[in-house]
Each structure stands twice: as C-alpha cells, then as structure tokens.
Amino acid sequence: MSATLHSLRPAREPSLDPMIELVSGDLNHVNSVILERMQSPVALIPELAGHLIAGGGKRMRPMLTLACARLLDYPGTRHHKLAAAVEFIHTATLLHDDVVDGSGLRRGRRTANIIWGNPASVLVGDFLFSRSFELMVEDGSLKVLKILS
C-alpha cells in the first residue's frame, strides 16, 4: 500500500513558474488596470486597497483567467479588464472576510481592518466590488455579468 501511495506523489513540488511565464505580458496589463481603477479622490481608498493588493498575493485568479484566454487562443484584450475584475472581487471578499472573522493578520501583515478599522475596510471592499462591476459593464457582455455576479 505505501509503495502505491509513494508512486502517486509528484517527483517535485508543483510550481507556478510555467503559468507565470505564459501570462506575464498579460499580467502586466492587468496590474495596470488594477492600479488605474483603484484610484479615487478619497485618499483612503487607494491607500487601503493598495495595502492588500500589494500584500504579496500570487494573483492566482487573474492568472487563471489569462491562462484560459490563452488556452482558447483568444486574440483580443477584453481578458485584461475581466481578470482585473476577478481580482477586485477576490480582494473585496478578503476585506469583508477579515472584518467578519476579526482577523489580525493576512499573508504575515496586519489586516486593513486592524490598521484602518472595520468601517473603512467594509467600504473599500464595497468600492472594489463596484469597480469590478464597472469593468464588467464596460465589457458589454451580459454573459460575463451573469457568470461573475
């Protein structure tokens, strides 16, 4: 039995490097969209959102969105904004989750709700949700809205 289990283990740890290499150019575009769309005349919004977005996440969800576009040989650029929308949805849920759970740390850093308080974290999470829907509406596809909402 142990020989069978042993043979099922991968020879080496899985790596994201091949996927990162595949989508790196597109991911730069996504990061530009994220930085542009998290701007606001309310200084707290980009500060708080930037704390979490720049907090060391892998951008797994946008990478998967971009990899799917590559897999399907999609020739356009719509996937850049949609991948940013996916990241905003994810980030908003993290902000809300930390408030609900009373979390103090995320990825080894103090959470936004600890630094700026629960109300600010919830409101910036709501802002990011609204930005994600703004990006989806700009895309113009009701199918996208249905899938991501």
List the CATH number of the domain containing 51.
1.10.600.10
Assigned domain for 4 exists: no
The answer to whether position 91 is within a domain reads yes
Q: How far apart are CA 103 and CA 98, in angstroms?
A: 5
User: For the whole prediction, is pTM greater than 0.85?
Assistant: yes
Q: Dmax over Cα atoms in the chain, in whole Å?
A: 62
Note whether residue 9 is domain-resident.
no
- How many domains does the chain contain in total? 1
Paired residues of 110 in beta bridges: 105
Q: What is the C-alpha separation between 100 and 28, in angstroms, rounded?
A: 32
Q: Within a domain: residue 101? A: yes
Let me know the angle formed at the C-alpha of 37 by 29 and 69, rounded to the nearest 5 degrees.
35
Tell me if 13 is assigned to some domain.
no
Pair 80, 30: CB distance under 8 Å: yes
Q: In this predicted structure, what is the pLDDT of residue 61?
A: 96
Residue 14 lies in a domain: no
Task: Give the ranges where 38-110 is alpha helix by DSSP (H).
Answer: 44-53, 60-71, 78-101
DSSP code, position 54:
T
In a domain, 82, yes or no: yes
Domain with 97, as residue range(s), is 24-148
Asked if residue 12 belongs to a domain, the reply is no
Per-residue pLDDT of the chain (149 residues; tens, 9 = 90+): 555 555 666 677 888 899 999 999 999 999 999 999 999 999 999 999 888 877 767 899 999 999 999 999 999 999 999 999 999 999 999 999 999 999 999 888 899 999 999 999 999 999 999 999 999 999 999 999 999 88
Close Cβ partners of 113 (under 8 Å, ≥ 6 residues apart) = 95, 98, 99, 102, 103, 120, 121
Q: What whole-number distance in Å separates Cα of residue 137 and Cα of residue 45?
A: 21
**Which residues are CB-neighbours of 46 under 8 A, at least 6 positions away?**
38, 39, 40
